[in-house]
Amino acid sequence: MAKSPAPPEPAPELSYEQAQAELDRLVQAMESGQLPLDQLLASYRRAAELLALCRARLDAVEQQVKVLEAGQLVPWTAT
């Protein structure tokens, strides 16, 4: 009986800044017009993943800001 391949290792979690920097590098490479078609497609897929990650992080931060603006958090005061 053949073994099924092991699931891929999860990628390390990137910070927003790391994801944005990688996304910028990918976009520059794709815009250069120098990538072979297969690499262009792989770069596009990775860029889409990074864009989704960045959007999710921004949405989470936006929700936190809304909570702060609504005054739902009590400011800390020294006693």
Q: Is residue 74 part of a domain?
A: no
| CA angle in degrees (0–180, nearest 5) for 66-67-69 | 65
Percent of the chain with pLDDT over 70: 75
Share of the chain above pLDDT 90, in %: 61
Kindly report, residue by residue over 48-63, the tens digit of the pLDDT: 999 999 999 999 999 8
CA distance 46 to 26: 8
pLDDT of residue 72: 65
* pLDDT at 6 exceeding the cut of 70: no
- Say if 77 falls within a structural domain: no
Domain total in the chain: 1
Are 14 and 53 within 8 A, CB to CB?
yes
Range of the domain at 36: 16-69
Using CA atoms, how far residue 19 sits from 4, 45, 54, 71, 72, in Å, is 31, 14, 7, 31, 31
Alpha helix ranges (H) inside the chain: 16-32, 37-69
Average pLDDT over residues 20-35: 95
Mean pLDDT of the chain: 83
